[in-house]
Amino acid sequence: MSKVRSVAASLLISLGLAGCATPGPQPGEVEIRRGTIEQITAVQLASNHHQGVGAVVGGLAGLGIGSLIGGGTGRDVAMVLGAVGGAVAGNEIQKKHDKPLPGQQIIVRTGNGVLVAVTQPVNPGLRVGQGVYIEGNGDGARVVPR
């Protein structure tokens, strides 16, 4: 009987301690940390346009234009050449318009002394020594003024 009591007591203590545990951020929640900006460095961010969209749109336009030319085998050749030519032209046009965006890499020292680096679009309201919040984590992290 004493063995049953000790197992029951151990189970109750385990459940009590588990109830006191602090859960981490849940899916969909935004984690917010505090800190002070140590360094800000200007960087270039890649364009947020999707690569290859210009080629696909150009290819489809070329295919459509090629289908209006001739008939039979000549039409098929015109469609293939139009699709290839349109894809090449669309890709080149997209390259010319996809310019890097200005950004900044911000190094923040959190309250517990950990350094966190966040790269984001330029926020002119941030300066070295300023108290900030780090919202989110991973690629979605952003530094905002306190």
pLDDT recorded at residue 35: 92
> What average pLDDT does the structure give for the chain?
79
Predicted TM-score (pTM) of the model is 0.51
| pLDDT tens per residue across span 34-67 | 899 999 998 888 765 566 777 788 778 877 887 8
- Across 59-80, average pLDDT: 81
- Across 17-44, average pLDDT: 72
pLDDT exceeds cutoff 80 at 32: no
CATH number for 30-46+102-146: choose from 2.40.50, 3.40.1350, 1.20.120, 3.40.50.
2.40.50
**Domain ranges for the chain:** 30-46+102-146, 53-97
- Across 75-97, average pLDDT: 80
* 8 Å CB contact between 119 and 105: yes
